[in-house]
Amino acid sequence: MPATDAVLDAIVMVVAADGEVTEREMHLALTAAKDLPSLHGLPSLERSLGEAFERFVDQGSDARLAAMGKPGADVCLEILLAAAVAAAVDGPPTTDEVECLQRVATSIGAASGEIDAVMARVSGSETAKR
């Protein structure tokens, strides 16, 4: 799976973690995704994010997690960063979002502690923006 697809899939899974995806969440996720290094400058990001949602709806989270495989450390970090940004995009992450983030991390073989480090990084940048 290309790294871009894995990053987009992580965003989609976290946004959909509570079982509902609002238009506001989609807009915020798209806005945040534009700032991610792995997606910056991606042509037609909105279409690509929509395709990721379609894959998620058609195949489910287990299939999308399996498709991510066990990426290298750099891609793993990008996936976790994207998932953390998606979790924090509309306020403090919910329990469902954190559990989804942990599920993504476990699936891609992230080292323990990476979730906390990425969440701290995202929370710090969100605080700095306010």
CATH of the domain at 40: 1.10.3680
Residues of 70-95 as b/e, b for ≥16 C-beta within 10 angstroms?
A: ebeeebbbbbbbbbbbbbbbbeebee
pLDDT at 104 over 90: yes
pTM higher than 0.85, yes or no?
A: yes
Task: Give the structural domain span for 27.
Answer: 3-129
| Position 78 confidence tier, pLDDT thresholds 50, 70, 90 | very high
Total domains in the chain come to 1
What is the pLDDT at residue 129? Answer: 46
Distance CA 12, CA 82 (A): 10
What is the pLDDT at residue 35? Answer: 85
